[in-house]
Amino acid sequence: MFGPNLFANYGEAVAVILFGIGFSNLLLQKNLIKKIIGLNIMDTAIYLYLAEKGYIAGRVAPIVVDGVQEVSAYINPIPSGLVLTGIVVSVSVTAIMLSLTIRLYRRYHTLDLDEISMRLKKEGM
């Protein structure tokens, strides 16, 4: 079941492992900055997956040079386009997360989300 398929697609396997690492960091870390790093690892893993899937060995980027016109000479550009769109999205959510972190840090002088919740409960409101 695993054997040759796993070795042929080792790039995708690495991407999925990285996705798991990022996902669990985002979910389980207490420190907000580490959570954001986890988020970035998770997103980047998806782009690695897309890039791996989008590349076909022996073909080149779809830019016509030397007058080669056959479709079979090029790879599909859409996965690369998806990666670009995804990067834009993840940059914006990272920016929002960082700005929220700054706000919380200015108020509570800690990056530990659980401790912030404890203090909020003590405040009552």
Partner 1 sequence: MNFIQNFPFFSIILSMFSGIVSSVLCPKAARWVNTFLISAVGIMSAILLGYLAQTGESYTYMMGHFPAPWGNEIRAGVLEAGMALFFCVIMLLSMLGGHKKLLREVEYSKHNLYYILVDLLLSSLLALIYTNDLFTAYVFVEINTIAACGLIMIRQIGRTIEAAVRYMIMSLLGSGLFLMGLCTLYDLTGHLLMSNIKESVAQLATQHEYTIPLLTTIGLISAGLAIKSALFPFHSWLPDAYGYSTVSSAAMLSSLVSKGYIFLLIKIFYRVIGFDIIADSKVINVLFVFGVLGMIFGSLSAIRENDIRRMISFSSVAQIGYIYMGFGLGTQIGIVASVFHILSHAATKSLLFIAAIGLTDVSNGSRKFQDLTGAGYRNKIAGVAFTVGSLSMVGVPIFSGFVSKLLFAEAAIGDNMKMMPAVIAMAVSVILNAIYFMKTVIRIYVPEHREDCQVITMKSEKVYAVTLICFIVLNIFLGMCSQPIVKWIESGLSMFG
Residues that bind partner 1 (CB under 8 A): 19, 22-23, 26-27, 32, 35, 39, 42-43, 46, 49-50, 53, 78-79, 82, 85-86, 89, 92-93, 96-97, 100-101, 103-104, 107-108, 113, 116-117, 119-120, 123, 125
CA distance 22 to 39: 6
The structure tokens listed for 107 are 């108020």
CB of 16 to partner 1, least distance (A): 8
Q: Which is nearer to partner 1, 20 or 68 (CB)?
A: 20
CA distance 16 to 3: 17
Contact of 99 with 32, CB cutoff 8 Å: no
